[in-house]
Structure 1
Amino acid sequence: MSLPQDPHKSFLPFRNPFRMILAKGSYPSPELLSLLNNFEETLAERLKKLKLGNKEDVLHISWMRRAMESLCAIHTDIKTLITTLELPVCDWDDKWVNVYLDNSVKLLDICIAFSSEISRLNQSHLFLQCVLHDLVGESSKKFVRASSSLDGWRQHISSKNPRLEECFCIINNLAQTLDLPKIKNSAKGKVLMRAMYGVKVVTIFVCSIFAAAFSGSAKKLMDLNVPETCLWAEAFADLQTFVNSEIRNIYSSRRVTVLKELEAVDISVKKLYPIVGDGVNPIEAGVLKNATSDLGKSAEELSQGLDQLAKEIDSFFQIILTGRDALLCNIRVGIDSSNFAQPDNNVEGQAVR
């Protein structure tokens, strides 16, 4: 029987944000529309590549790594678009700058939360290494030590990471600010804001999946509605339905985690635990050997997967950080240029007087 679920969160169910962006002022030229279409078509292709043929493959750590790789590529795409548009920061509306800076801080915080959870999961690997080491020895107390280490692993895995709860709040806040600002007199600005809207939607989607996977709860998994005018809308809706439905199915079956590699370790631990828990009784050597071998393989696969995922999250962190730093640097250059020009005007004014 499925567990009762909270109503799925849905955002932007009625409003079309592009009505605001295209209603007034200058319209993008064919060249600008071509840039936007190319960006959105590329975004659609990146989303299609994340959909797998088998639902059972969803949320393997290898898939999460691919999702983060795609997110890094999408954020790189928007940087390339900004450069191609030749829209200098001095021409950005203050609202655009404020939104960008605010969102970037939130994304950095999300990355830190995910990295802290990966670090926590990696710490549990020490307990498993102790188990494997103890069971190789000849000591009569090896089962007692191994049993204690298995208990330590289970307690560590079942503990909660407070950063993840904060992460849900940040993601929810991002989702509540998906509306595009009104842009009246900048065709390039309209293209930029529509492209950034796509980046933000996909970013929230991926981060929501990661948060649900790490937290052990699908209650706060989000369903985002996207206007059909987006060239990537169909690919996004298809992927979102595919992934979110599988995550909810997994949790409704009362499984501890949706991370397949972590689940494999949990299964191995459950097989080994009753064997080492009664170490005073004779145990068939082959059973112990096979159970230990299975644990070793699954633990190593989890550890390697987490390390690779951590690298991708760090890459995303660096992309956000460098983009933010570049924007702030350009703003400072603009301010310094204005301040530099001011004394000349004053001197000229004094000379006239």
Structure 2
Amino acid sequence: MSRPQDPPRGFFPFGNPFKILSPKNSYLSPKLLSLLNSFEVDLAARIKKLVPSDKKDILTFSWMKQALESLCETHKSIKTLITDLELPVSAWEDKWIDVYLDVSVKLLDLCNAFSSELTRLNQGHLLLQFALHNLEGNCPKNLSKARSSLDSWRQHIIARNQRIENCRAILSSLVGSLALPKVKNSAKGKVLMRALYGVKVKTLYISGVFAAAFSGSSQNLLYLPVSDEIPWAQAFMEMQNSINPEIKNIFLSGGLTVLKELEAVDVSVKDLYPGIEDGSVSIALEPVKKLVTELSEGLDLVSKEVDIFFKIVLSGRDALLGNLRSSGAAAAPEKALGKNFIGQTGVRRP
């Protein structure tokens, strides 16, 4: 599988968010500087925690759960910052609202895609359970049934999910949204835009990792250059430079899947085939049962975190729309935003 060429670090296709807060462009009060600094320091700390001490932890369900928890905390933090800025929705420019609603609806679409894939993978658990049940008695007439179930499970795992296939287009669109809207005569607005930039970069990168893992394609893995002048830039680049090469190496290994727990089950399943042929399979069953149980539990944990993240994004979107309507500011944005205002995704709980 070919490796996409990483763009040079100094390349800024999305604009430099530091410039919009440079002293020559605006004056920030000590309070605003403090709010921004606190937000960005916390963002850097959360990103650092996503750099695994052991590369073997990358693309484990434990790491994926941690990444989603971190995203949830970051999205909660931006909601807190908006409150602390005391910037009412009525003071938001239409273009800010447009960007926010457009990004949020795409994040909901990604959540729905990830949820559908996790559900699909979990459905394969039934095939594994049926196979293990037929192998327990070591009855010759059930061995063929067990082998058929295991074959079906492996085919089920490598089958394509159209929702996951669609993630690439959504990610590409979100990369374009990293371009910052111009902010005029609003110090609070500039703080908000820069903070939102950090949230979008982190969210987009992690979404790309998930899309790559679920699709089996490194083309969904993103490399996002950011300005060295941003406080969280070093942590973010360290995360990318640590995780991206390892994921690409996993893809090159040629396994059935890049998800660690899923691959472990596949290896153990392949070890069962010789025993099925000679009738000695019961010896190897217990380790497989343990791995299958861990796989199911891991899928459930990640699914729950996707659900939580979905609800956080949806609640933020609903709050904005509610505030627009209550403030009487909804008429113009609704006309301008069209589908983005009312939602163009089939919103549901994952």
Could you tell me the TM-score, scaled by structure 2's length? 0.90
* 8 Å contact from structure 1 (residues 8, 221) kept in 2: no
Matches within 5 A, 1:216-295: 216-276=216-276, 278=277, 281=278, 283-284=279-280, 288-295=281-288
* 8 Å contact from structure 2 (residues 99, 177) kept in 1: no
Counterpart selection for 1:4 from 2, 7, 26: 2
**Structure 2 CA distance for partners of 1:111 and 1:11, relative to 1, 3 Å:** farther
Matches within 5 A, 1:195-234: 195-234=195-234
**Structure 2 CA distance for partners of 1:330 and 1:11, relative to 1, 3 Å:** farther
Counterpart selection for 1:314 from 287, 307, 319: 307
**Structure 2 CA distance for partners of 1:337 and 1:53, relative to 1, 3 Å:** closer
Aligned-partner Cα distance in 1 for 2:247–2:160: 19
Larger radius of gyration: 1
Cα distance, 1:35 vs. partner?
0.6
Equivalent position of 2:289 in the other structure: 296
Deviations 1:201-233 (A, max 9, x none): 000010000011111111231100011121100
Matches within 5 A, 1:322-333: 322-333=315-326
Aligned-partner Cα distance in 2 for 1:315–1:11: 33
How large is the RMSD of aligned CA atoms in angstroms? 2.0
**Structure 2 CA distance for partners of 1:24 and 1:97, relative to 1, 3 Å:** farther
* 8 Å contact from structure 1 (residues 67, 206) kept in 2: yes
Aligned-partner Cα distance in 2 for 1:207–1:337: 30
* 8 Å contact from structure 2 (residues 324, 330) kept in 1: no
Matches within 5 A, 1:1-353: 3-8=1-6, 13-14=11-12, 15-20=15-20, 22=22, 26-137=26-137, 139-276=139-276, 278=277, 281=278, 283-284=279-280, 288-335=281-328
Aligned-partner Cα distance in 2 for 1:337–1:260: 47
Aligned-partner Cα distance in 2 for 1:175–1:306: 28
Q: 2:32 is aligned with what amino acid?
A: L
Give the paired residue count.
330
Q: 2:3 is aligned with what amino acid?
A: Q
* 8 Å contact from structure 1 (residues 36, 195) kept in 2: yes
Q: 1:221 is aligned with what amino acid?
A: L
**Percent of aligned positions with the same letter in both sequences?**
54
Q: 2:97 is aligned with what amino acid?
A: V
Aligned-partner Cα distance in 1 for 2:37–2:25: 20
Which ranges in structure 2 are unaligned for 5 or more consecutive residues? 332-350
Aligned-partner Cα distance in 1 for 2:9–2:102: 20
